[in-house]
């Protein structure tokens, strides 16, 4: 089966960025990255019942598919599960690892996982479990990071330029540990893993190509930089951004410029996949 590669356009991404800023006001790294994901997801509907793998607090799912009511969430984090239950988005929420799903075979018509698979241990077992609980003909829509998220990290490069390589390596390790990247695979490897689990890949949407991906990495690394006392640099940065009156227009102009500069949109720091369980 031929995999369709879809490229997002400027208007889709800018509209998604405005939507993201409404629920994560001035949290620039989340808004910039998830704008690409939202734009990709907007092209797809979910058939109920739905399983949200690594559901988080539910805000993101509600933004994407507010009309979907028959949805179950799972997450390994206790606080995330508590927030998900309080959100009212999910019929039920289970605190379980994604490679040990407590559901019968063919329980769900659709599966969704946003920017979570790359953080999961036992990824092949996770994908097999996702395949098991999905009904024949059901869709699995997911976003992931790729190997470019590591390759395009700016801190190691800057530390070499400023002859502070040891400190730069420490900062990069802290960043990797914070994000818990376990599976930053190339897009082709992601598709291979999904196919090995039984899925057919229908669609691949690259997200965050160069130079956006590199600049995002620099911004995200700076945002999560640990200050003395344990706070992140993002905390005072967020306070500063909240004071900017023309922030929305400015961030839109930055996004627009970076999109226009992308020489090769087929290679991204992330990807959105639409896969199907054969009928």
Question: Exposed (0-12), middle (13-18) or buried (19+): which is 93, by Cβ within 10 Å?
Answer: buried
Task: Find, among 7, 13, 6, the residue nearest to 38 by Cα.
Answer: 13
pLDDT at 162 over 60: no
- What pLDDT digit, counting tens, does each position of 144-158 carry? 999 999 889 876 666
pLDDT of residue 240: 94
pLDDT of residue 153: 84
pLDDT of residue 221: 87
CA separation for the pair 130, 98 (Å, rounded): 8
Share of the chain above pLDDT 90, in %: 74
pLDDT of residue 264: 85
- What pLDDT digit, counting tens, does each position of 25-38 carry? 999 999 999 999 99
CA separation for the pair 35, 24 (Å, rounded): 11
pLDDT at 1 over 80: no
- What pLDDT digit, counting tens, does each position of 221-274 carry? 889 888 888 889 999 999 999 999 888 888 889 899 989 888 789 999 999 999
pLDDT at 168 over 90: no
Confidence of residue 22 (pLDDT cuts 50, 70, 90): very high
Q: What is the mean pLDDT of residues 213-223?
A: 89
Q: What is the mean pLDDT of residues 80-85?
A: 98
Residue 209 DSSP symbol: E
Hey, is 135 helix, strand or coil? strand
User: Where do we find the tokens 């976003």?
Assistant: 143
The helix (H) or strand (E) run that includes residue 274 is: strand 268-276
On whether the CB atoms of residues 90 and 72 are closer than 8 A, the answer is yes
Share of the chain above pLDDT 70, in %: 95
Confidence of residue 208 (pLDDT cuts 50, 70, 90): very high
pLDDT at 160 over 80: no
4-276 fold:
Rossmann fold (3.40.50)
Beta-sheet strands, E only, within 36-91: 50-53, 71-75
Per the prediction, the chain carries an average pLDDT of 92
On whether the CB atoms of residues 52 and 90 are closer than 8 A, the answer is yes
pLDDT at 192 over 80: yes
Task: Find, among 135, 77, 126, the residue nearest to 106 by Cα.
Answer: 135
Which neighbouring-strand residues pair with 74?
Answer: 53, 94
For residues 111-124, b (16+ Cβ closer than 10 Å) or e, as one string? bbbbbbbbbbeebe
On whether the CB atoms of residues 17 and 32 are closer than 8 A, the answer is yes
Confidence of residue 180 (pLDDT cuts 50, 70, 90): confident
Which comes out higher in pLDDT, residue 143 or 160?
A: 143
Neighbouring CB atoms inside 10 A of 244's CB total 12
Which comes out higher in pLDDT, residue 250 or 190?
A: 190
pTM surpassing 0.85?
A: yes
CA separation for the pair 81, 61 (Å, rounded): 14
- What pLDDT digit, counting tens, does each position of 108-138 carry? 999 999 999 999 999 999 999 999 999 999 9
Taking the CA atoms of residue 22, residue 26, residue 32 and residue 37 in that order, the dihedral angle to the nearest 10 degrees is: -30
DSSP string, 223-241: HTPBPTTS-BTHHHHHHHH
């Amino acid at each position: 089966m031929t995999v369709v590669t879809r490229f997002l356009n400027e208007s889709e991404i800018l509209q998604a960025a405005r939507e993201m800023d409404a629920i994560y006001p001035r949290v620039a790294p989340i808004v910039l990255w998830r704008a690409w994901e939202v734009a990709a997801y907007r092209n797809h509907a979910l058939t109920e019942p739905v399983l949200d793998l690594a559901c988080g607090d539910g805000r993101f799912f509600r933004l994407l598919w507010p009309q979907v009511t028959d949805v179950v969430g799972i997450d390994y984090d206790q606080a995330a599960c508590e927030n998900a239950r309080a959100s009212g988005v999910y019929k039920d929420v289970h605190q379980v690892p994604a490679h040990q799903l407590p559901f019968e075979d063919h329980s769900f018509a659709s599966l969704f996982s946003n920017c979570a698979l790359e953080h999961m241990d036992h990824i092949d077992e996770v994908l097999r479990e996702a395949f098991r609980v999905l009904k024949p003909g059901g869709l699995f829509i997911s976003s992931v990071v790729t190997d470019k998220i590591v390759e395009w990290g700016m801190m190691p490069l800057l530390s070499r330029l400023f002859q502070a390589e040891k400190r730069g390596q420490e900062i990069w390790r802290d960043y990797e540990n914070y994000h818990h990247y376990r599976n930053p695979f190339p897009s082709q490897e992601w598709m291979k893993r999904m196919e090995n689990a039984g899925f057919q890949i229908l669609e691949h949407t690259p997200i965050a190509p160069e130079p956006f991906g590199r600049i995002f990495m620099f911004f995200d690394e700076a945002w999560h930089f640990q200050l003395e006392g344990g706070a992140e640099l993002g905390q005072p940065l967020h306070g500063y951004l909240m004071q900017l009156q023309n922030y929305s227009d400015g961030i839109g102009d930055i996004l627009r410029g970076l999109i226009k500069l992308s020489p090769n949109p087929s290679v991204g720091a992330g990807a959105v996949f639409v896969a199907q369980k054969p009928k």
